[in-house]
Amino acid sequence: NPGRFIDHNRVTLFKYKRSLFFRRHWLESGVSMWGLLKTRRFCGDYLVPYMRSGHMTLNTKTIFYVDSENSAKSQGVAGMAWSKRGVVILPDLPELTSTSRPRTKESYASVTKSSVRFLERYLAEGRTPSRAMAAMPVECNGKLWGVIVLDSLDPLGVTAQSVEHYTLRKV
């Protein structure tokens, strides 16, 4: 759309990394050593940023824990797509601000498989959570390689149609 900012619509490619030790995670508060022990897994499998569109949001610290044995433990829209080996589409998510009601934040966190703590930290940093998301697993030679995540600040910026028409080509 003309007049829209490019950084309000992003594409991020996450690559699967097996057995990462003590990886910094987006749930961390980073305040005390006890906090680190509570939020860091000693060793785990993660989806880590590999490449991102745009020039303003290239640096992201977001990683998603994935559990190949228990999909309920996988985190975020990327973790959902990885676990089900299929497309996940979350359009028309509620708008969140620092003054949003706790119930709205809890609902958003539940639908996106994130946490209220993450959302509150994100909002405290002056950032705006996505209003629409989609994630698709990426396979290479028949094996899961990673996940592509589309996200937008527009509630209808990512739809089933946009995912259906999304293609990857070997260059």
CATH classification of the domain holding 140? 3.30.450
* Half-sphere exposure for 25 (CA within 13 Å, toward CB): 28
Report the range out of 7-16, 32-41, 71-80 with the highest average pLDDT. Answer: 71-80
Predicted confidence (pLDDT) per residue in 104-127, tens digit:
999 999 999 999 998 999 899 998
Residue 38 maps to a domain: yes
Predicted confidence (pLDDT) per residue in 129-162, tens digit:
999 999 999 998 989 999 999 999 999 889 888 7
The structure tokens 């709205």 sit at 104
Residues 6+ apart with CB under 8 A from 155: 91, 92, 93, 95, 131, 132
Tally of structural domains, the chain:
1
Range of the domain at 125: 6-159
Is 154:8 a contact under the CB 8 Å cutoff? Answer: yes
Residue 171 maps to a domain: no
Q: Does pTM top 0.95 for this prediction?
A: no
Residue 65 maps to a domain: yes
Is 30:118 a contact under the CB 8 Å cutoff? Answer: no
Residue 103 maps to a domain: yes
